[in-house]
């Protein structure tokens, strides 16, 4: 079997680098052809988008878009077969692949068709680290570290259990975006066939945090009401144990005078906000830690609630301590992505052009173990292939039946395994549903 290797010019360019594992975005056009031919999981990718072909035109009418080099954007692509899709990917070598809805007609025929409307699409969620910039101090913008990754850990845990327990969804694919966020694809039949109103309802169900302009600053606020709903209680059990570690220690956001002001901005009542700030400034010494501020604030809030049953602290601010914890740590969704029936979202296994890292699936139960800074780059993946091949001495002499798949030689291995296990369960469910439908038909 022939192997796809970089040509001599590509190898010379790469060897000029002092560190061959260091990603260089200028080399991406040379590396993508090898990645798509040897590492991209074309067959599992097709299995996912075709859903075992149990539904008519589910693959052929799916909209796919490519973003090419120099931001050339090609929409309304569609394909008949896995071979056709794989051939086009390997020919175009897209910088990004986006997946859209299954349409009423083939997207490429949209001009001649009378109408083209979306008929089904996975329920998707997009969570970006930059939406937490007002409560993270360890990094900013596109940078991510293990400390701020904990925001993603909590978001994943809350959403995953909510989707499974409250909506009875089973087939949920979690994917690291490749740089600073996570994507969630809910692939159950019922989820894929939700209309726009239903998608909006699900999105709003998980929308607990809003941003309010306070003293010229956009401040996150969470209103949990007089009594926590069951889903809110469940989320609080995830948030509360990690609040001190993340907000008070890792981020230390209530440090100093500015930190006290930041804390008090979470209080919606203006008079209570000013009184709280003054109390904290009067009772804390210079150089105090966020833990000290938080402990003093909790004691102050409790005393104010106990002093008067008719005060704002006993009514509107009754749950202010819990609401601040929610405002800091509850998932911050790009709600329009979830609401939009025809919104395109980046495919798993794309290479992020800025970071060079692969957009890789992960198991939600192991989200805390995922380190975004060690997710392999395309440079690392290609080097791992070469190192493995050189050590094994297994090239063209090896029989096809004994051939080790290239992704198994690399850091992509676990991500592909997660994807294939997700597909195994999804396809098993689809087969069971198909058999059940046929048995019902026979009964008539």
What residues pair up with 224 in beta bridges, in sequence order? none
Q: How far apart are CA 64 and CA 75, in angstroms?
A: 7
How distant, in Å, are the alpha carbons of 33, 69, 347, 384 from that of 86?
Answer: 12, 18, 14, 23
Q: Is residue 131 annotated as a catalytic residue, yes or no?
A: no
- From the list 86, 122, 128, 131, the catalytic residue is 128
Sequence-distant (6+) residues with CB within 8 A of 240 are: 322, 325
H-state helical runs in 209-362: 230-243, 256-264, 270-283, 290-307, 320-329, 335-339
Q: Is residue 128 annotated as a catalytic residue, yes or no?
A: yes
Q: What angle do CA 41, 421, 178 make, to 5 degrees?
A: 50
Spatial CA neighbour of 56 closest among 119, 122, 115, 109: 119
Spatial CA neighbour of 135 closest among 327, 371, 314: 327
Coil vs helix vs strand at 407: helix
- From the list 98, 122, 126, 406, the catalytic residue is 126
- From the list 63, 86, 122, 384, the catalytic residue is 63
What b/e string do you get for 252-272 counting C-beta neighbours within 10 Å, with b at 16 or more? bbbbbeebbbbbbbbbbbeeb
Q: Is residue 390 annotated as a catalytic residue, yes or no?
A: no
Cα 369 to chain centroid, rounded: 15
What residues pair up with 65 in beta bridges, in sequence order? 98
φ/ψ (deg, to 5) at 138:
-70, -30
**Catalytic annotation, residues:** 63, 126, 128
């Amino acid at each position: 079997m022939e192997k796809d290797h970089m040509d001599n010019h590509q190898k010379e360019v790469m060897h000029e680098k002092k560190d061959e594992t260091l990603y260089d975005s200028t080399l991406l056009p040379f590396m993508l052809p090898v990645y798509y031919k040897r590492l991209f999981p074309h067959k599992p990718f097709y299995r996912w988008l075709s859903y075992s072909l149990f539904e008519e035109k589910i693959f052929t009418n799916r909209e796919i878009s490519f973003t090419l080099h120099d931001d050339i954007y090609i929409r309304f692509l569609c394909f008949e077969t896995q071979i056709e899709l794989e051939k086009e990917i390997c020919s175009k070598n897209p910088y990004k692949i986006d997946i859209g809805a299954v349409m009423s007609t083939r997207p490429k025929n949209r001009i001649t068709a009378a109408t083209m409307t979306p008929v089904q699409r996975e329920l998707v969620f997009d969570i970006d680290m930059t939406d937490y910039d007002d409560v993270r101090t360890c990094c900013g913008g596109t940078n991510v570290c293990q400390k701020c990754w904990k925001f993603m850990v909590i978001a994943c845990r809350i959403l995953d259990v909510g989707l499974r327990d409250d909506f009875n969804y089973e087939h949920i694919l979690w994917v690291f975006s490749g740089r600073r966020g996570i994507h969630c694809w809910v692939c159950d039949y019922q989820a894929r066939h939700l209309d726009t109103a239903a998608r909006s309802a699900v999105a709003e169900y998980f929308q607990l945090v809003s941003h309010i302009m306070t003293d010229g600053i956009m401040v996150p606020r969470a209103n949990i009401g007089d009594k926590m709903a069951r889903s809110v209680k469940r989320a609080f059990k995830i948030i509360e144990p990690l609040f001190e570690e993340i907000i008070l220690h890792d981020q230390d956001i209530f440090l100093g005078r500015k930190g006290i002001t930041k804390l008090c901005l979470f209080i919606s009542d203006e008079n209570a906000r000013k009184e709280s700030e003054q109390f904290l400034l009067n009772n804390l010494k210079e150089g105090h830690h966020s833990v000290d501020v938080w402990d003093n604030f909790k004691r102050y809030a409790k005393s104010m609630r106990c002093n008067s049953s008719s005060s704002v602290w006993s009514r509107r601010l009754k749950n202010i301590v819990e609401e601040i914890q929610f405002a800091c740590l509850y998932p911050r969704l790009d709600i329009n992505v979830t609401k939009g029936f025809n919104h395109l979202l980046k495919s798993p296994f794309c290479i992020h052009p800025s970071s060079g890292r692969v957009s890789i699936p992960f198991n939600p139960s192991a989200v805390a173990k995922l380190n975004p800074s060690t997710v392999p780059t395309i440079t690392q993946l290609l080097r791992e292939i070469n190192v493995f091949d050189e050590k094994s001495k297994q090239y063209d002499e090896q029989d096809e039946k004994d051939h080790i798949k290239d992704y198994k030689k690399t850091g992509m291995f676990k991500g592909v395994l997660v994807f294939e296990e997700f597909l195994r369960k999804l396809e098993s469910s689809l087969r069971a549903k198909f058999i059940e439908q046929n048995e019902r038909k026979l009964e008539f």
